[in-house]
Amino acid sequence: MTRHLFEFSPTRILLCSLAICWPAAALAQTGATGNEWPAYGADKGMTKYSPLDQIDADNVNDLEIVWRRPRLEPSYLEINPNQRTSANHVATPIMRNGVGYVPNGVGLVEAFDPGTGETIWAQEVPGDGDGLPGAVTRGLAWWSDGDDARILAQRNVWLYALDAETGAPIAGFGENGRVNLQRMPADFERYRWGGVPVVVRDTVIVGQGMSDTFAGREAPPSEVQAFDVRTGALRWTWSAIPQEGDVGVESWQDRSWSYTGHAPVWSLMSADEDLGMVYLPLSSSTNDMYGGHRIGDNLFTQSIVALDAESGEMVWYYQMVRHGLWDYDIPAAPVLMDIVVEGQEIPAIAQITKQAFTFVFDRRTGEPVWDIEDRPVPQSDVPGEVTAPTQPFPTLPPAFDRQGATVENLIDFTPELRAEALEIFSNYVTGPMFTPPSVAEPDGTRGTIQLPGSQGGADVQGAAFDPETGYFYVPSITSPFVADLFHGDPDSTDLAYTKGTRRWVAGPQGLPLFKPPYGRITAFNMNTGEQVWMAPNGDGPRDHPAIAHLNLGQLGWPGRPSPLLTKTLLFIGEGQTNLRRDGRMPPDMPVEIATNSGGPFFRAYDKMTGEIEWVIEMEAGVTGAPITYMHEGRQFIVAAIGDRLYAPELVAFALPDR
């Protein structure tokens, strides 16, 4: 593990390595170039933008479905006719050199004709016990030196390099075209990740997913790993938890860094090829709701960190949650953007968060574009806990979703519903954002209502940036969560307190507890930091018997869609449908209003106003990030759909072929 030994301010590095040089105004990735979709987020800057404009507001209502592709190439079913795959098909294709590539329902790579959806090649099922069973991943990376073109894919404990033309493993990459990512003791946790590899120049970088069910205070720290894209040789590793002698170790009292673990990059990363930097969104350390065993700010957890992609040295950081207690992982890839603020051109990076903030920095140095204020926050009364006295609040842009479990935010559709909401509310500890988790007692309160909840706000689906207008589009949900603690049982844990039920909160009569919208899209002008418009995403529970007579407008569904921007329109779905009831849903909460529950509609919005230009009802919700590309003179929109009642697939839209 390598670290950058530069002077720190309390929250960020402001100096840069002498080994890194950049122009005065390094340019962002500006969306998909030409007719392709070369990366998961259109570019390595995760803008999700394409300049294509064949489909526009005048003809979008002429769109038709032109092909469908199943989540698993049928030939795999000849190997195992009973093969099962996830109902949540989150895969997003890329399109390079006239070929589409996508991870399938078991994480293997398939190449397809972007005009017809027909298979070109499918990755051979690996041996050595890896076999056909696998896990869904979100996407793939592409690398080429002009002669050699490769697809980089992570599946289970392996990072694969495949020949982009044939799908054959690259013989000179690792062992038989793959490298083993298992570095953590396997008896603690087997390596897994649902992210997307990112390639910066000739280095390929991967994160890691880890379980949130922490049984004790001791755990291994997660690592970001980087490999030579040609040979698969390990170049460096980096952990968010500093070790003896590292910068940041002073933020862990009583040597708590020595036994604390987790803090992975479970989400997606972004990168700037010109600067040679990769940007990491970091998550929580052990235990993510009680920190009496890890007093201090706990750098570099719940931070954005910029690394030199070649060396793994840290260039700058900013911690967005100090001494995290709310499971406020940094959930999405930072988005690169070039903006002009008060006449100054700034190569910027924007990080959206679960707490509904957008932090904006100069991506070269980590200097905030707009002031970030340290504000006092509520303190914990849990024995042994020492809460951070302040947390950072960006002054611009404004919050993109509701913040704080307060009386003002409770639903008030009718006086009766308001009274019932107040009664439910009285059973919990409540307050502004960053009110700490509390102990649930049989004769006391049931824990703390947290808003935004542990799943946001924003999440892994991220945001989108328009380099032509400077507009930034953020999908989010209003989803409260019970942050409750139980007394630790000394027979099963060395923690004084452990996380409790961690349930969502049901409101009166099967409605949400707080005011709508429950899912929304917010547009900001990033040259000014101001909100431009906000639109609910979907109908929401407007037809519920208790409020149907009010003839309300759209209330929004709390699903998890990802946006797609073109030169003309914003495309977005409503997220996964037909969720299976799980332990986080109280018995009196309808599945339809539970966190992550979306709807079957796919829409196109006017980017400047938020007005709906087109809508189609699909067989199931849009689950992957939509993409667009031009193939043989025709613009396509492609998105993954599916749920547990409808077999997942890719669906392609285009204008009639006249």
Pairing of strands 94-96, 99-103: antiparallel
Q: What is the pLDDT of residues 629-642, one digit of tens each?
A: 999 999 999 999 99
Q: How confident is the model at residue 212 (pLDDT cuts 50, 70, 90)?
A: confident
pLDDT of 9 higher than 90:
no
Q: What is the spatial distance between Cα 326 and Cα 440, in angstroms, rounded to a whole number?
A: 16
pLDDT of 129 higher than 60:
no
Return phi, psi of residue 379, to 5°: -105, 155
For residue 522, the model assigns a pLDDT of: 99
For residue 33, the model assigns a pLDDT of: 72
For residue 84, the model assigns a pLDDT of: 84
For residue 128, the model assigns a pLDDT of: 57
pLDDT of 491 higher than 50:
yes
Length of the chain (residues): 658
For residue 80, the model assigns a pLDDT of: 85
For residue 1, the model assigns a pLDDT of: 46
- Kindly state the DSSP code that residue 552 receives in the 8-state scheme: -
Pairing of strands 497-499, 519-525: unpaired
Say how many CA atoms lie within 13 Å of 610 toward its Cβ: 18
Triad 634, 637, 641: Cα angle to 5°: 145
Closest CA to 214 of 612, 19, 485, 26: 485
Q: How confident is the model at residue 83 (pLDDT cuts 50, 70, 90)?
A: confident
Give me the mean pLDDT over the 570-588 stretch. 92
Q: How confident is the model at residue 612 (pLDDT cuts 50, 70, 90)?
A: very high
| CATH value of 60-116+140-654 in 3.40.718.10, 2.140.10.10, 1.10.10.10, 3.40.50.150 | 2.140.10.10
Q: What is the spatial distance between Cα 199 and Cα 154, in angstroms, rounded to a whole number?
A: 13
Q: What is the spatial distance between Cα 206 and Cα 458, in angstroms, rounded to a whole number?
A: 22
| Residues above pLDDT 70, as percent of the chain | 95
Dump the DSSP string for 438-461: EE--TTS---EEESSBTTBSS-TT
For residue 213, the model assigns a pLDDT of: 66
Give me the mean pLDDT over the 348-371 stretch. 99
**Taking all residues of the chain, what is their mean pLDDT, rounded to a whole number?**
93
Please compute Rg for the chain using Cα positions.
24
For residue 583, the model assigns a pLDDT of: 81
In what helix (H) or strand (E) does residue 281 lie, and over which residues does it extend?
Answer: strand 277-281
For residue 382, the model assigns a pLDDT of: 98
Give me the mean pLDDT over the 66-86 stretch. 91
pLDDT of 58 higher than 60:
yes
**Domain limits, the chain:** 60-116+140-654
For residue 131, the model assigns a pLDDT of: 65
Q: How confident is the model at residue 18 (pLDDT cuts 50, 70, 90)?
A: very low
For residue 7, the model assigns a pLDDT of: 33
Q: What is the pLDDT of residues 321-330, one digit of tens each?
A: 999 999 999 9
Q: What is the pLDDT of residues 221-266, one digit of tens each?
A: 999 999 999 999 999 999 999 999 999 999 999 999 999 999 999 9
Give me the mean pLDDT over the 400-405 stretch. 98
Q: How confident is the model at residue 35 (pLDDT cuts 50, 70, 90)?
A: very high
Give me the mean pLDDT over the 72-84 stretch. 89
Give me the mean pLDDT over the 87-108 stretch. 96
Give me the mean pLDDT over the 463-489 stretch. 97
Give me the mean pLDDT over the 637-654 stretch. 97
Q: What is the pLDDT of residues 499-536, one digit of tens each?
A: 888 899 999 999 999 999 999 999 999 999 999 999 99
Least confident of 12-26, 76-90, 98-112, 536-550: 12-26
pLDDT of 25 higher than 70:
no
For residue 584, the model assigns a pLDDT of: 85
Least confident of 3-17, 84-98, 485-499, 637-651: 3-17
pLDDT of 14 higher than 60:
no
Dump the DSSP string for 348-403: EEEEE-TTS-EEEEETTT--BSS-EEEEE-----STT----SEEEEESSSPPSS--
Q: What is the spatial distance between Cα 24 and Cα 502, in angstroms, rounded to a whole number?
A: 47
Asked if omega into 452 is within 30° of 0 (cis), the reply is: yes
Name the CA dihedral angle for 273, 276, 281, 282, rounded to a multiple of 10 degrees. Answer: 160
Pairing of strands 464-465, 471-477: antiparallel
> What is the pTM (predicted TM-score) of this model?
0.95
Give me the mean pLDDT over the 471-478 stretch. 99
Strands (DSSP E) contained in 4-71 are 64-70
Give me the mean pLDDT over the 406-423 stretch. 98
For residue 30, the model assigns a pLDDT of: 62
Strands (DSSP E) contained in 3-135 are 64-70, 94-96, 99-103, 109-112, 119-122
429: tokens are: 């500890």
Q: Strand, coil or helix: what is 578?
A: coil
pLDDT of 165 higher than 60:
yes
Q: What is the pLDDT of residues 177-200, one digit of tens each?
A: 999 999 988 888 889 998 999 999
- Kindly state the DSSP code that residue 495 receives in the 8-state scheme: -
Q: What is the pLDDT of residues 273-318, one digit of tens each?
A: 999 999 999 999 998 899 999 999 999 999 999 999 999 999 999 9
Q: How confident is the model at residue 22 (pLDDT cuts 50, 70, 90)?
A: very low
